[in-house]
Amino acid sequence: MKLSERVLSLKESPVRKLVPVANRAKEAGKKVYHLNIGQPDIKTPKVFMEAINNYDTDIIKYSFSYGEPVLIHAIQDFFKRDGIVFSDKNILITNGGSEAVTFATIAVCDPGDEILVPEPFYTNYNGFTGEVSAKIKPITTKAEDGYHLPKKADIVKLISPKTKAIMFSNPGNPTGTILRQDEMDMIAEIAIEYNLFIISDEVYRGMAFDGLEGISMGTIKGIEDRLIILESVSKRYSACGARIGAICSRNEELMANILKLCQARLCVATLEQIGAAALYKLPQSYTESIKNEYQKRRDIAYNALSQIPGVVCKKPTGAFYFIFQLPVEDAEEFIVWMLEDFELDGETIMLAPAEGFYATPGLGRNEARIAYVLNEDGMKRAMYILEKGLEAYQQIHR
Amino acid sequence: MKLSERVLSLKESPVRKLVPVANRAKEAGKKVYHLNIGQPDIKTPKVFMEAINNYDTDIIKYSFSYGEPVLIHAIQDFFKRDGIVFSDKNILITNGGSEAVTFATIAVCDPGDEILVPEPFYTNYNGFTGEVSAKIKPITTKAEDGYHLPKKADIVKLISPKTKAIMFSNPGNPTGTILRQDEMDMIAEIAIEYNLFIISDEVYRGMAFDGLEGISMGTIKGIEDRLIILESVSKRYSACGARIGAICSRNEELMANILKLCQARLCVATLEQIGAAALYKLPQSYTESIKNEYQKRRDIAYNALSQIPGVVCKKPTGAFYFIFQLPVEDAEEFIVWMLEDFELDGETIMLAPAEGFYATPGLGRNEARIAYVLNEDGMKRAMYILEKGLEAYQQIHR
């Protein structure tokens, strides 16, 4: 029996493929600071477990395919804070943002169809599109531009009859870049002119620094029928393991069709939806406090990195990641070396190699993504270890 | 913007599409006995919520992409009871049996590839295959044969170069049929001869009546590398809303590739895995008690139905469903009529129209699926309402 071409051609997650290497380092007694994965060390708000512990039921029944009403209403209220109004039918609860991307792709793409995505991009977009035989067409963005979009002419020349949508995360993973208003307007303009869907992954919304707002595409007029917003509790509420996300769109035909996908897989876990509803009900002050915490960490990471000789990066303004160039030829090799061959008083760090965040071959080989998900002391120590590791690596590899 | 052909061509779940009709009946004050959906009224064992409530964590972190070790080990032990040995890498935890079917399909089928499935079949197989652009080729089975398989020659003539696998649920949903040993051997033989994968959906395993065992395909020798077993806690442990399932296979290349699909969607909800592990650790006596309870209900449903004039059905031997012929032209029309226009002292019932369980056009139009998921009193009452409803319907439609 042969496996399918599509599954064979999927690449391993660059964020997760080095996990066995890290595990061996830990088994050898090393402490590993994980800067490779967006798993925050911030506590999940207590309301999550409280809501679950207080949920009174004898039978863990199927939820509704479209989701628990209490959660849908909480998400509606969350968007209303920014003046964005979604009806009950405009929101479908999904198994994390992951399933939201998959369902959006299935709904707009047949096999061979394409989605424009600015690269570097969230690497699992490759998996979600590839496993349903759709393709990503990258819009290359550059470190020296702070990973902002190229001009319109450079984007529209990538559009073909196979192009069905433009998809991006804003604030951006892995870049930490927040789209400017003029970039958002340009995306809307292109989508209208070329009749494309806009898939706006807003799972980091609210995590915007230096006075930036990081507003939703939902605030832009004239694209209501073509806009698909992807949501998740994972990052904003530090509840990655809850696997609760949502697809939000005012296109009723689209939502009626995605509902069929929801019905096929029956429902999302009931208890986690109950917990997630409590998270969305947290006041705006919660998001503010999280934002401030990450801004502090961003400053530690950025200040430390930008002082390491040979490291190239621009100051990121959102999410909790950024990408930077390392003064090495092959970032993955360096990351593995840090785990296998380096330690500072029994400790080392783990980054994500950035090549997997690019679709264009050859790009990103000397880049890494950092997730600044550790507390201040942890971040400072991890940055110090990185600096010392890099020194040692360069002495060996000069 | 046009939606994809594949999403537009998906049919609504026959089990769920009449939910709005049922909701209107309830809003009008009717009590509806739900025999349309496999949502048992049996309590979820308390160990599930206890394990979750006792789970001590400040952060709801990502689980491992492959699943929580405690759950994987519990599933291993569950299979060992029947002498079936799976290593750690032979089991991947999924979002219910649903995701297990989807992942198995993606791994063995490229767009346009086919999977043989005995019909009537679990209707969501249509969704899981259609949304990833694979096709179901039905092996028609008949009420008069108790929905057992046709002879080998009738099956192999359906095989083409596009055929990648044979998939079935055993015990069968919606038929309630349990495969005989000779049928299981025939499937193995065909798979070996034609180099196919075998996707054995065993989520109802253990629910086998009248002294039948309902054994796993995992007990058959010589097919280790081509066998994919799908598991779930939903039915056996009455935990449908937990959304915990698994893919089990000894084909290491297959599992390494499905792991990439697991990595893309990051993980399955952490808490629900902790709860599910406690379920799999329940002793064999738990499954026995469940089996006895469903056998009682099966007897009530079957005895009542087989005495209604014009109803045709064979005694089912497993799961908690069966399909039967109604003395009406269009079962769906009758089911809607029962909800909208009929009541007996303010009560009515809901069945699932069976047409959607067939892939061959025209089959199953006068059939319905019953899920005997209510307790004895509920089942008796529901059967009485069905009998009276049918009498009234036939008087109007004669």
The mean pLDDT value for B38-57 works out to 93
Looking at chain A from residue 58 to 97, which residues have their Cβ under 8 Å from any Cβ of chain B? 58-63, 65, 95-96
CB distance A265–B43 less than 8 Å?
no
Per-residue pLDDT at B15 exceeds 80: no
Residue of A nearest to B38 (CA): A62
DSSP H or E run through B273: helix B270-280
Who's near A135: CB < 8 A, 6+ residues apart? Answer: A112, A113, A114, A115, A129, A162
Comparing C-alpha atoms, which of A194, A190, A148 is closest to residue A171? Answer: A148
* Fold type of domain A5-43+285-396: Aspartate Aminotransferase, domain 1 (3.90.1150)
Flag whether residue A290 sits within 8 Å of chain B, measured between CB atoms. Answer: no
Q: Cβ of A60 and B240 within 8 Å?
A: yes
Cβ contact, residue pair A124, B96, below 8 Å: no
pLDDT of residue A341: 96
What's the pLDDT at A37?
A: 87
CB atoms under 10 Å from CB of B2, counted, come to: 11
Residue B234 pLDDT greater than 90, yes or no: yes
Cα distance between residue B50 and residue B281, in whole Å: 13
What chain B residue is nearest to A94 in terms of C-alpha separation?
B95
Distance of CA A100 to the CA centre of its chain: 12
Report the pLDDT averaged over residues A151-180.
97
Q: Which of the four pLDDT bands, split at 50, 70 and 90, describes residue A41?
A: confident
Q: What mean pLDDT comes out for the span B209-236?
A: 95
Residue A13 has pLDDT above 90, yes or no: no
pLDDT at A222: 97
What is the structure's pLDDT at B213?
Answer: 84
Q: Are the CB atoms for A129 and A105 separated by under 8 Å?
A: yes
Question: Tokens at residue B16, please?
Answer: 């769920």
Is B52 within 8 Å of A269 (Cβ atoms)?
A: no
Q: What is the pLDDT of residue A40?
A: 87
User: Of all helices (H) and strands (E), which one includes residue A387?
Assistant: helix A376-396
B242 with A269: Cβ contact below 8 A = yes
Q: Give the model's confidence band at A346: pLDDT under 50 very low, under 70 low, under 90 confident, else very high.
A: very high
- Contact (Cβ atoms closer than 8 angstroms) between residue A378 and residue A359: no
Residue A151 contacts B where some CB pair is shorter than 8 Å:
no
* Contact check, Cβ <8 Å, B260/A58: no
- Predicted confidence at residue B76, as pLDDT, reads 98
Dist. CA B376–CA B9, nearest whole Å: 40
The tens digit of pLDDT for each residue in A220-274 reads 999 999 999 999 999 999 999 999 999 999 999 999 999 999 999 999 999 999 9
Q: Quick one: DSSP state of residue B353?
A: E
Q: CA–CA separation, B58 vs B54, rounded Å?
A: 12
Q: How confident is the model at residue B306 (pLDDT cuts 50, 70, 90)?
A: very high
Q: State the pLDDT at residue A132.
A: 96
Q: What is the mean pLDDT of residues B336-349?
A: 97
CATH number of this structure's domain B47-282:
3.40.640.10
B63-82 per-position pLDDT tens digit: 999 999 999 999 999 999 99
Backbone angles phi, psi at B220, to 5 degrees: -85, 130
Sign of CA dihedral A149, A155, A158, A162: positive
C-alpha span between A129 and A114 (Å, rounded): 9
Q: Which regions of B233-290 does DSSP assign to beta strands (E)?
A: 244-248
Interval A59-88 mean pLDDT: 96
Would an 8 Å CB–CB cutoff place A336 in contact with chain B? no
Segments making up each domain of chain A, as ranges: 5-43+285-396, 46-282
User: Is A273 near chain B, with CB under 8 Å?
Assistant: no
B 168-227 near A (Cβ less than 8 A): 195-197, 225-226
Q: Give percent above pLDDT 70 in chain A.
A: 100
Percent of chain A scoring above 90 in pLDDT: 91
pLDDT of residue B14: 73
CA nearest to A52, candidates B332, B51, B63, B370: B51
Report whether A190 contacts A152 (CB < 8 A). Answer: yes
- The residue among B336, B396, B364, B327 whose CA lies nearest residue B147 is B364
Task: Check if CATH label 3.20.20.80 holds for domain B5-43+285-397.
Answer: no
For residue B350, give the nearest of B121, B124, B31 by alpha carbon.
B31
Are A53 and B53 within 8 A, CB to CB? yes
Cα Dmax for chain B: 65
Query: Is residue B40 very low, low, confident or very high in pLDDT (cuts 50, 70, 90)?
Result: confident
- What is the pTM for the complete model shown? 0.95
Fold of A46-282: Aspartate Aminotransferase; domain 2 (3.40.640)
- The overall average pLDDT reported for chain B is 95
CB-CB contact of A271 with A60 (8 Å): yes
Q: How far is A394 from chain B (nearest CA, A)?
A: 32
pLDDT at residue A344, as a whole number? 96
What is the reported pLDDT for B12?
79
Instruction: List Cβ<8 Å contacts ≥24 apart for B340-347.
Output: B340/B21, B340/B24, B340/B25, B342/B389, B342/B392, B342/B393, B343/B30, B344/B384, B344/B385, B344/B388, B344/B389, B346/B29, B346/B30, B346/B31, B347/B30, B347/B31, B347/B32, B347/B33, B347/B381, B347/B385
Instruction: Kindly report, residue by residue over A274-299, the tens digit of the pLDDT.
Output: 999 999 999 999 999 999 999 999 99
CA distance B396 to chain A (A): 34
pLDDT per residue over B127-165, tens digit each?
999 999 999 999 999 988 999 999 999 999 999 999 999
What's the confidence (pLDDT) of residue B17? 77
Say whether pLDDT at B13 is over 90: no
Binary contact (B1, A226; C-beta < 8 A) = yes
Beta pairing partners, A31: A347
Residue A65: C-alpha distances to residues A87, A99, A204, B38 (Å) = 16, 13, 25, 14
